[in-house]
């Protein structure tokens, strides 16, 4: 499905752009809405009705939740907002977690309840959160209810970020849905951002992902400490360049159509603490849980003990959001505990340590966290950490692990550099200091990046988009 949708995007994007720019401005949301539906249906037609139903529910409950249109003592807005919560959370629980609950019950009580076997609708975690935030924001009075169904539909189904995020809130694009500026400058910026994102995904993420797959599929009796750490670092880079690459592609596509989406990543691997890491990683999800879960629970306004409970609830739910498996919940609790420890005990002391010490501390905890995230099979998860720390007589290294290290040494060096702001700073310096050379070289570089990335995408059967499954 993933390769099919991306191929479809490449094949039809030029035609859509032509139709979009030819269409009168008042019809451009309709063009986006219709193409977004076609794009979604191409990959998963059976569930397009589900997204349309979510759009209808958001439209109706949004109108009813608008308190400015009701009497002050009316309970209708609250119940409309509650209905939106029940619908969106009900969808997620049913399609994403029902089989997980059944499996857990079968294991715990020895029952033999049959699994439903539903496939997870693509992008449901993202568009459910988007429509829910829209209705809640209408209820709170942060935005006005949208009276044009096609405009709201264009927001919900907007294909650049439909299937893998980032989570775009209605209040961030409300004015752009009504009136946006499609300029040559924005279009060129969009093409550049899209090309960079595609390169991140198919050149960087796919290449290092192949190493993780190779090692993770190796027989456990042949594993070494070095192999386990190579796999952990490989997955750490794969998931970053996979997801940040797709976010860049979504932001770039948005620019082409006149939208400005908020950034979703801010070089998270340069962080000096886990607190800083989560300010830089998947920003749209972190801020969503902060604004719609943590703050409504009371945030830090009801005492230290309640704040700690609120943080743990948020991080359990963050892990739960990522998938119907215990490893994701453990992953969320793991980071929640670290954040509590930093907030209450270590963050101030950590700030006094040398920067390199702080960075190694953060990176080590991040890599261990991704080690939890990567393995849904509990036996593999436990064995992986035993291998990483040399438990059970696991050898330090062998010929195969040294060969993999040497083979991917240059790749790791490129990934490390690409994870920092230095390439961007170099580009900005060239643009300011050598504007003529930059103006000549940039289009050539972008064209070359698109050509190479497209060749990789077409010629390589290994094209996993990790966040599509969330």
Q: Which residues are catalytic?
A: 322
pLDDT confidence of residue 302: 85
Maximum Cα–Cα distance across the chain: 75
Q: Tokens in use for 438?
A: 């930059």
Q: How confident is the model at residue 12 (pLDDT cuts 50, 70, 90)?
A: confident
The CA distances from residue 106 to 101, 346, 381, 449, in Å, are: 9, 42, 22, 50
Q: How confident is the model at residue 314 (pLDDT cuts 50, 70, 90)?
A: very high
pLDDT confidence of residue 468: 56
> Quick one: average pLDDT of 173-190?
90
pLDDT top residue among 438 and 126: 126
Q: What is the mean pLDDT of the chain?
A: 89
Cα 166 to its chain centre, rounded Å, is 6
Most confident stretch, 157-166, 365-374, 383-392: 365-374
Taking a C-beta distance cutoff of 8 angstroms, is the pair 241, 200 a contact?
A: yes
Res 425 pLDDT > 60 = yes
266: left (phi over 0), alpha (psi -120 to 50) or beta: beta
Q: Which long-range contacts (CB under 8 A, 24 or more apart) does 263-271 make?
A: 264/165, 264/166, 265/240, 267/419, 267/420, 267/421, 268/240, 268/366, 269/236, 269/240, 269/363, 269/366, 269/419, 269/420, 270/359, 270/419, 270/420, 270/421, 271/359, 271/362, 271/366
Spatial distance between the Cα atoms of 295 and 287, rounded to a whole number of angstroms? 10
pLDDT confidence of residue 181: 84
Q: How confident is the model at residue 277 (pLDDT cuts 50, 70, 90)?
A: very high
pLDDT confidence of residue 55: 95
pLDDT confidence of residue 1: 45
Torsion of CA 36, 42, 44, 46, to 10 degrees: 90
pLDDT confidence of residue 445: 87
SS3 258: coil
Res 124 pLDDT > 90 = no
Taking a C-beta distance cutoff of 8 angstroms, is the pair 58, 135 a contact?
A: yes
Res 188 pLDDT > 60 = yes
Spatial distance between the Cα atoms of 145 and 152, rounded to a whole number of angstroms? 9
Res 346 pLDDT > 90 = no
Res 396 pLDDT > 70 = yes
pLDDT confidence of residue 22: 94
Q: Please, what's the b/e burial string for 395-416 (b: 16 or more CB within 10 A of its CB; e: otherwise)? A: eeeeebbeebbeebeebbebbe
pLDDT top residue among 161 and 247: 247
> Quick one: average pLDDT of 269-296?
95
Q: What ranges do the domains of the chain cover?
A: 2-180, 186-469
């Amino acid at each position: 499905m993933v390769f099919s949708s991306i191929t479809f995007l490449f094949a039809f994007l030029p035609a859509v752009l032509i139709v979009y720019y030819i269409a009168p401005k008042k019809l451009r949301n309709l063009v986006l809405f219709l193409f977004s539906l076609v794009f979604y249906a191409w990959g998963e037609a059976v569930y397009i009705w589900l997204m349309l139903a979510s759009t209808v529910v958001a439209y109706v409950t949004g109108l009813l939740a608008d308190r400015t249109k009701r009497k002050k003592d009316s309970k209708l807005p609250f119940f409309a907002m509650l209905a939106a919560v029940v619908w969106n959370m009900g969808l997620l629980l049913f399609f994403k977690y029902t089989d997980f609950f059944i499996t857990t019950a079968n294991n715990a009580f020895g029952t033999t309840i049959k699994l439903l076997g539903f496939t997870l609708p693509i992008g449901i975690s993202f568009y459910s959160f988007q429509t829910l935030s829209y209705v809640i924001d209408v209820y709170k009075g942060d935005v006005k209810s949208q009276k044009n169904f096609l405009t709201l539909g264009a927001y919900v189904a907007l294909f650049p970020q439909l299937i893998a995020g980032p989570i775009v809130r209605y209040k961030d694009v409300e004015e752009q849905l009504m009136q946006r500026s499609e300029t040559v400058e924005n279009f060129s910026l969009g093409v550049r951002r899209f090309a960079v994102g595609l390169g991140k995904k198919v050149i960087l993420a796919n290449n290092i992902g192949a190493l993780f797959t190779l090692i993770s599929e190796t027989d456990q009796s042949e594993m070494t400490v070095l192999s386990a750490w190579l796999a952990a670092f490989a997955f750490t880079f794969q998931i970053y360049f996979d997801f940040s690459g797709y976010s860049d592609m979504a932001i770039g596509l948005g620019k082409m159509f006149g939208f400005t989406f908020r950034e979703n990543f801010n070089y998270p691997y340069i962080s000096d603490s886990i607190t800083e890491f989560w300010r830089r990683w998947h920003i749209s999800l972190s801020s969503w849980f902060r604004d719609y879960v943590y703050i409504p629970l009371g945030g830090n306004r009801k005492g230290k003990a309640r704040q700690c409970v609120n943080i743990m609830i948020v991080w359990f739910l963050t892990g739960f959001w990522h998938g119907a498996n215990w490893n994701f919940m453990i992953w969320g609790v793991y980071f929640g505990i670290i954040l509590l420890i930093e907030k209450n005990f270590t963050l101030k002391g950590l700030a006094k340590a040398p920067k390199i010490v702080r960075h190694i501390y953060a990176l080590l905890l991040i890599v261990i966290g991704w080690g939890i995230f990567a393995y849904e099979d509990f036996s593999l998860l436990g064995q992986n950490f035993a291998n990483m720390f040399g438990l059970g007589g696991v050898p330090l290294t062998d010929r195969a692990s040294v060969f993999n290290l040497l083979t991917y040494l240059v790749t790791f060096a490129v990934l490390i550099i690409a994870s920092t702001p230095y390439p961007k700073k170099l580009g900005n310096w060239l643009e300011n200091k050598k504007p003529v050379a930059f103006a000549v070289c940039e289009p050539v570089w972008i064209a070359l990046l698109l050509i190479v990335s497209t060749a990789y995408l077409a010629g390589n059967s290994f094209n996993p988009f990790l966040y599509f499954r969330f």
